[in-house]
Amino acid sequence: MPEIEKLKFLSEEQARTISNHFKTPVFVYSERCLEVQAERALNFPNAFGLTVRYAMKANPNAAILKIFDRKGIHIDASSGYEAKRALMAGIMPENILLTSQQIPSDLWELVEQRVSYNACSLHQLEVYANHFPNSRVSVRINPGLGSGGINRTNTGGEGSSFGIWHEQIGEVFDIATRHGLDIERVHTHIGSGSDPEVWKRVALISLGIVGKFIDAGHDVSVLNLGGGYKVGRMSYEKSTDLQECGKPVEQAFRDFADKTGRELRLEIEPGTFLVANGGSLIAEVIDIKSTQKYNFVIINSGMTEVTRPALYGAQHPIVIVPIGRKEQETRKYIVSGHCCESGDILTPAQGDSEALMPRELLRAEIGDLAVIEGAGAYCSGMCTKNYNSYPEAAELLMDNNGAVKTIRDRQRLEQIIRNERDI
């Protein structure tokens, strides 16, 4: 029997029971998996203290924010709305760092509530300084180095708009001097990758940038190296070993302290690492079709819940769970979503959303379940919600005792259209 992907934390019987009780499509998250990943992140090697911030854009559900909050993990918010959403979930404002491409219209209120702000451009820094002169602030610097499986997951280097270009640090100093700002945190982020050598290089570059701020009289006490720690969703993909990745970074911080006398606190911002494999999407096989070249399995989900394959050519494990029979036979299938959109394919070629790659799966029949694994990160929070007017799927949490509870109700059609107005 050919090698096929397996369920990660659900059993087949649990998947069947959940689908019967809650219907499909439905996301299920494992509290135990989330807590295990949280512990791994909190054990990231560090020299002089560590703050782990959850990149909540990966999955902003309040129940997940609360699980990480209980573990002592802080929040990385990518918009003012995310910051407010975290506050509404009960996160302490001083545990939230706002790093956004857009200045929120109510930034002043957030800062006054003690949410920390991380300026990502010279314009943002100037605007902030005009409202909060003689204060402390963070700045995000593009260190000139990037990493990532593809360009769309690379957030550093000359092709990235994120952060202040490292050659413009002098202008940062000018703004800070004119307004009496003190830079307390330097933030860099290079994208998604697993290579410890790349992380060591960016740490050394970032420490060099911190040195420039210290030389200019700024009391930098924190260096935030961002996130991007890759998690292998597919069985053949390698996950980042945080211990291997972090040890050279820890040593670099110690060397920096020996050289400058400055003991910096390390911050990291994992998102995918914390939640990706702690989430599964249970869908149903609703049709089976074939052409001269391909066999297609059609499911009652797709880009309305999981956009990454269409966007990146990303790979997600897909497991057929037979209903009412034992199944040993396998076939090669293209798995297609339910949207009227040719790009709604869950089995593209790796890194190429334009190409198809048939997947070896158990032989499927209409009514079987299709479980999409690795669906905890950048799925429910980054999908084509309401395309073709499909409602948002429900979200469930399986707690450490195996009990399953709803953490987001399935959306109703009336909720989709409630903000429309007659003319």
DSSP string over 6-66 = --SS--HHHHHHHHHHH-SSEEEEEHHHHHHHHHHHHT---SS-EEEEEEGGG---HHHHH
The tens digit of pLDDT for each residue in 393-419 reads 999 999 999 999 999 999 999 999 999
pLDDT value of position 199: 80
Neighbour count for residue 302 (Cβ, 10 Å): 29
Q: Which two tokens stand for residue 106?
A: 């109510």
C-alpha–C-alpha distance, residues 76 and 266, integer Å = 14
C-alpha–C-alpha distance, residues 223 and 96, integer Å = 16
The tens digit of pLDDT for each residue in 213-249 reads 999 999 999 999 999 888 999 999 989 999 998 999 9
C-alpha–C-alpha distance, residues 79 and 84, integer Å = 9
Mean per-residue pLDDT of the chain = 93
Residue 231 in 3-state DSSP? Answer: coil
pLDDT value of position 200: 83
Owner of token pair 């009652």? 300
pLDDT value of position 369: 98
pLDDT value of position 376: 98
pLDDT value of position 42: 98
- Assess whether pLDDT exceeds 60 at residue 157: no
pLDDT value of position 194: 63
CB 165 within 8 A of CB 120: no
Q: What is the mean pLDDT of residues 94-105?
A: 97
* CA atoms 307, 310, 315, 317: torsion sign: positive
Question: What's 193's DSSP letter?
Answer: B
pLDDT value of position 1: 38
The closest alpha carbon to 113, from 128, 100, 96, 129, belongs to 96
Predicted confidence band of residue 159 (pLDDT cuts 50, 70, 90): low
Q: In sequence order, what are the beta bridge partners of 278? A: none
Strands 265-268 and 50-55: parallel
Q: How far is CA 376 from CA 21, 275, 337, 382, in A?
A: 21, 5, 18, 11
Lowest-confidence region among 74-88, 105-119, 138-152: 138-152
Compute the half-sphere exposure of residue 127: CA atoms within 13 Å on the CB side of its CA: 15
What domains appear along the chain, each with residue ranges and CATH number? 12-28+276-417 (2.40.37.10), 31-272 (3.20.20.10)
Lowest-confidence region among 86-90, 187-191, 233-237: 187-191
- Assess whether pLDDT exceeds 70 at residue 26: yes
C-alpha–C-alpha distance, residues 286 and 370, integer Å = 10
- Assess whether pLDDT exceeds 80 at residue 326: yes
pLDDT value of position 2: 46
The tens digit of pLDDT for each residue in 43-68 reads 999 999 999 999 999 999 999 999 99
Q: What is the mean pLDDT of residues 78-92?
A: 98
pLDDT value of position 151: 40
C-alpha–C-alpha distance, residues 314 and 262, integer Å = 41
Percent of all residues in the chain with a pLDDT value above 70, rounded to a whole number = 95
pLDDT value of position 191: 58
